[in-house]
Amino acid sequence: MLPPGQYIPRTLPVLHYGPIPAFAPETWHLRIFGAVESGTETRLRWDDVAALPASEVTADFHCVTKFSVPGICWAGVLATELLRRFPPAASVTHVMIWADFGYSANVRIGDFAAESTLLATHRDHVPLTPEHGYPLRLVVPHLYAWKSVKWVRAIEYMTADRRGFWEERGYHNVADPWAEQRYSYQEQEGEGPPQ
């Protein structure tokens, strides 16, 4: 069953803002910062990320532009694994996911900690292609796909919400496809950061 207003395309379309970044494994790192329980920022090299336990999640993928692709098999590091190894402070309510060129998306800590959320390195048993987020892409299957940030470079733990790139440009702060939370004008009280 598809969320309201969605259709199934023939292939997984490629949509993103800005250029596709080049990947240099010798200089690439993933930064975990903000309200970290330890008070210490972490920088993981690509080899560190590749050495983390890998898991698979099969889930539908819903784009705000109204296409849904059913049953994609994603593989990578579960967000719960990162939260276990690099725990946020107890006061954290949201996570900002940062990508190259300043792109970002905010998610509630509960969405980030969902069992199906992962930092994907593979799709359908092959490495991600550059246009689909290689080497590392967040996948939050239960939210619209703009929250599934490509080319992830940093995870910021936040004690208060603030809007990411598309949320600042009129997209809904929560992005639940089953509730058709597409645009900020649809937000109910408490669904967005304080003005």
Q: What is the pLDDT of residues 130-163, one digit of tens each?
A: 999 999 999 999 999 999 999 999 999 999 999 9
The confidence score (pLDDT) of residue 97 equals 98
Q: What is the pLDDT of residues 156-190, one digit of tens each?
A: 999 999 999 999 999 999 999 999 999 999 999 98
Question: Phi and psi of 178, rounded to 5°?
Answer: -70, -25
The confidence score (pLDDT) of residue 180 equals 93
Residue 59, SS3 per DSSP: strand
Are residues 132 and 126 in contact, defined by beta-carbon separation less than 8 angstroms? no
**Tokens matching residue 186:** 């649809």
The confidence score (pLDDT) of residue 15 equals 65
pLDDT at 53 over 80: yes
Question: Phi and psi of 68, rounded to 5°?
Answer: -130, 135
The confidence score (pLDDT) of residue 102 equals 87
- Whether domain 29-186 has CATH 2.60.200.20: no
Average pLDDT over residues 57-79: 95
Q: For the chain, give the number of residues.
A: 195
Compute the distance between CA of residue 105 and CA of residue 140 in angstroms, rounded to an integer.
11
Report the candidate in 185, 116, 149 with the shortest Cα–Cα distance to residue 18: 149
Domain segments of the chain as ranges: 29-186
Q: What is the pLDDT of residues 105-129, one digit of tens each?
A: 999 999 999 999 999 999 999 999 9
| Alpha carbon separation from 159 to 2, 28, 96, 162 (Å, rounded) | 34, 27, 11, 10
Q: What is the pLDDT of residues 10-51, one digit of tens each?
A: 877 676 777 888 999 999 999 999 999 999 999 999 999 999
Report the candidate in 129, 124, 99, 95 with the shortest Cα–Cα distance to residue 112: 95
